[in-house]
């Protein structure tokens, strides 16, 4: 999930995709390879673009559904859309329940959700404590006067 595409690969597949786009016919192979690179980019805008291309491909392609599901799960997890990522993992496991790679991906996504959920609660708790402290200080100051 943390693998990042090389800039050379991204440029190569981007070039092929845009050449085909310019000629008004993009093959499913070119679209998949470009999307595959984008979801492994270090930039969230690229990842989101890759997700859109994969979603489009998933809707119109019967042969690559399995690979699309896998990289849709990866892409969504990388942009912290964990619920969506898990839904793609579950869909993949419906097709291939014994796939260890996808089972491992599901575990990683759940761990990230737990970690970030706990961090989110800690931040929210800190904000609440801070607000309560300020209110308490304000009340104490008002009573003093």
Question: Model confidence over 30-83: pLDDT tens digits?
Answer: 999 999 999 999 999 999 999 999 999 998 877 678 999 999 999 999 999 999
* Residue 30 domain flag: yes
* Residue 133 domain flag: no
* Residue 51 domain flag: yes
- Which two three-digit tokens encode residue 144? 């003093």
* Residue 84 domain flag: yes
Count of CB atoms within 10 A of residue 102's CB? Answer: 21
Which of 71-75, 80-84, 110-114, 139-143 shows the lowest per-residue confidence on average (mean pLDDT)?
139-143
The predicted structure's pLDDT at residue 136: 56
User: Which of these, 41, 39, 51, lies nearest to 6 by C-alpha position?
Assistant: 41
**Average pLDDT over all residues of the chain:** 86
pLDDT at 139 over 80: no
* Residue 138 domain flag: no
Q: Check which CATH number belongs to the domain holding 104 and give it.
A: 1.25.40.10
Q: Which domain holds residue 77?
A: 7-118
Task: Describe the crossing of helices 28-38 and 65-78 by its angle, rounded to 10 degrees.
Answer: 20
* Residue 34 domain flag: yes
Domain count, the chain: 1
Q: Using an 8 Å Cβ cutoff, are 74 and 1 in contact?
A: yes
User: Which of these, 107, 51, 46, lies nearest to 75 by C-alpha position?
Assistant: 51
* Residue 21 domain flag: yes
* Residue 92 domain flag: yes
Which of 15-19, 47-51, 121-125 shows the lowest per-residue confidence on average (mean pLDDT)?
121-125
């Amino acid at each position: 999930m943390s693998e990042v595409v090389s800039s050379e690969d991204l440029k190569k597949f981007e070039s092929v995709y845009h050449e085909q786009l310019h000629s008004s016919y993009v093959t499913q192979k070119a679209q998949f390879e470009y999307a595959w690179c984008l979801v492994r980019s270090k930039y969230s805008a690229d990842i989101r673009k890759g997700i859109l291309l994969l979603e489009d491909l998933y809707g119109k392609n019967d042969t690559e559904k399995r690979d699309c599901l896998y990289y849709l799960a990866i892409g969504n997890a990388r942009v912290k859309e964990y619920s969506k990522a898990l839904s793609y993992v579950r869909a993949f496991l419906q097709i291939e329940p014994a796939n260890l790679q996808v089972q491992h991906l599901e575990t990683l996504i759940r761990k990230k959700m737990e970690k970030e959920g706990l961090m989110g609660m800690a931040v929210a708790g800190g904000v609440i404590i801070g607000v309560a402290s300020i209110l308490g200080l304000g009340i104490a100051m008002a009573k003093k006067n």
